[in-house]
Structure 1
Amino acid sequence: MQYSDDAPGEDFYDDLKNTGFLTIGTTPGSWRGRPRTIIVLGAQRSGTSMVAGALHHLGVFLGDDFHSPVFEDLRMGAAIKGGSWKTVREVIGDYDGRHEVWGYKRPVFFYQTRGLGLYGKLTKPLHQVRSVAIHNFLRFHQQLRSPLYVVTFKDVFSIANRNRISMDENIQVEMARAIKAYRWILSIINRLSPDALLVSAEKAVDRKDQFLETLIDYCGLEPSSSQQAAALDFIVRDSRSYLINTKSGISTGQLDVVTRHSIQGWARYKNHEEVATVALFINDVEVGRTQANRFRSDLQGQVHSKGTCGFEFSTFDASLLGEGSVVRARVVDDSIDIANSPLEFSVPSDSL
């Protein structure tokens, strides 16, 4: 293409700008008024929580059991980790029946997920399936009603450095892991040729008005002005809530006792003695919270100055504990479990 010697207009320069957003597959807005499912996909720490949070503020249902600032539905996550396609289909069917539009966010979808690829009929013999994780994802994709994908991208050093800061991970290992995750994501895109909005997380924050306009148009949403304002306010660089709640290692503790009648342990913050709140999970489903403020003489002066950091759960549904049930505990604003968690429950021999 040849251009005249005249100075080009603004439209010329606008066309050359990298907005950081690209829609592939569908025509933006073509799904408006039709049932659909919005899937947020990306490497860990690549901006998936930012996109999912924006969708939440725009009025999109993200599941029965999600929590800010991560916005990942624990109910769907437990079904996936449990390895049962029947349960996954039940969750999808429930959400489809209740919501014309709903979404789910999961970084590196089915990446390192075990079990699901071994259920049901494979399209090829297992030894011919290049990646069980890819097979899992393709099968999940087939269960979804008119899936629309939002795929986030961030430079691999930024991702790795965030994991170094928040998770005390090795920078080289994390860069390699991010590259591996993006190879997996590109394999999915190449195989499916899905309807997708590709998003640069950095540019989405820098141009959040334009990003929200693109996201709303692509997903066919019709948010109110107050919802748009809330979504706009939500998108900030280095959100303090996200940084605090996704940092590992701010607490310490131990899961000591797991019976049908009582689950006990201790937990405290590393740098201060404010009372910590502990969340209890059975088979990756949160079943209760309690404060770690019970006195334990064995901890006094050793772990805690006053010894008041013990906890006990005694009012949970004991029927949830079966042979092999996985019990986990962690401080609610930490991202990793306390020591000795998870524990696998064994039914006492005298109960058999």
Structure 2
Amino acid sequence: MNESKPKRESAIIVKNRPLTNGPRTYIVFGVMRGGTTMVAGVMRALGLFLGNNVDENNQEFTEFNSSDLDQKRKIITANNEAHEVWGWKDPNAADYVDRVWPELRNPHFICVFRDSVANGQGLNRWHPFGQIQAMQESLLRQQKNLNLLALRNVPSILISYEKAERHKGLFLEEFSSLLGIAPDHSKFNFEGFMQASSYKRIEDFRL
């Protein structure tokens, strides 16, 4: 496992250096209520294509929400043909990514982690099934994600949501460098968009 040594304030751990040129596909996943929306929104603000008909509340590719694996395969194939670089965001992508693996072109994982207490509280607000049970759900999901990261030896960016939100400037600098795209602060309020709060629309932060 080829990992870089992060700075103390860094939100990122890297497994295998990501490509910054040529065809590649980004899969953004993590846990529900765990910060994947913020990360995907930053990627879209940087200019990356994360699907048609994106839900502006959660940054998810609505056509990809189908549980039909053949439909997912068709969407992946179509986007491989239409876009040299593209991706999608789905917190639960680890449930099915192995089953669409042959269709993926140069897959890159972007996995977002969150403190299990905060994540459990968030899960329980939306799906009230008990505080401890919600924490268990969060930890089980994160372990499943780690298993995927360990088994698939592809370029991967592991992100701490808490550190990214706390050290926004450093996160944006490091993350955009790993993606190979320089942020244009004159056109988008990245730090405002990254501020912890309810869901936000990309268009509201364009300058």
Partner of 2:3: none
Q: Does the 8 Å CA contact 1:39/1:150 hold for their aligned counterparts?
A: yes
Task: Sort the Cα spacing of 1:67 and 1:173 in 2 relative to 1 into closer, same or farther, 3 A.
Answer: same
TM-score, normalised on structure 2? Answer: 0.85
Residue in structure 1 matching 2:106, options 132, 146, 152:
146
How far, CA to CA, are the matches of 2:94 and 2:184 in structure 1?
34
Q: Which residue of 1 aligns with 2:27?
A: 39
Return the TM-score normalized by structure 1: 0.52
Percentage identity across paired residues of the two chains: 26
Aligned to 1:54: 42
Please tell me whether the aligned partners of residues 53 and 69 of structure 1 are also in contact (alpha carbons under 8 angstroms): no
Moved more, 162-171 or 46-55: 162-171
More helix by share: 2
From the superposition, tell whether residues 110 and 20 of structure 1 become closer, same or farther in structure 2 (CA, over 3 Å): closer
Q: How far off is 1:231 after superposition?
A: 2.9
- The structure 2 residue matched to 1:237, chosen from 177, 192, 196, is 196
Alignment-mate amino acid for residue 97 of structure 1: E
Amino acid in the other structure paired with 1:236: Q
Q: Unpaired segments of 5 or more residues in structure 2? A: 1-5, 202-207
Q: Structure 1: state its 5+ residue gaps.
A: 1-14, 112-135, 243-352
Counterpart CA distance in 2 for 1:233 and 1:62 is 21
Question: Aligned runs of 1:1-352 on 2, under 5 Å?
Answer: 17-26=8-17, 31-78=19-66, 81-82=67-68, 84-85=69-70, 87-111=71-95, 136-227=96-187, 229-239=188-198, 241=200
User: Which of structure 1's runs of 4+ aligned residues deviate more than 4 A?
Assistant: none
Larger Rg: 1
Residues 109 and 137 in structure 1, CA contact (< 8 A), matched pair in contact too: yes
Q: Distance in 2 between matches of 1:77 and 1:16?
A: 36
Q: Which has the higher contact order (CA 8 A, sep 6+)?
A: 2
Instruction: Give the superposed CA RMSD.
Output: 2.1
Match of 1:288 in 2: none
Letter in 2 for 1:176: Q
Alpha-carbon deviation of 1:37? 1.0
Distance across 2 between alignment mates of 1:148 and 1:64: 20
The aligned amino acid for 2:132 is Q
Alpha-carbon distance in 2 for matches of 1:206, 1:179: 22
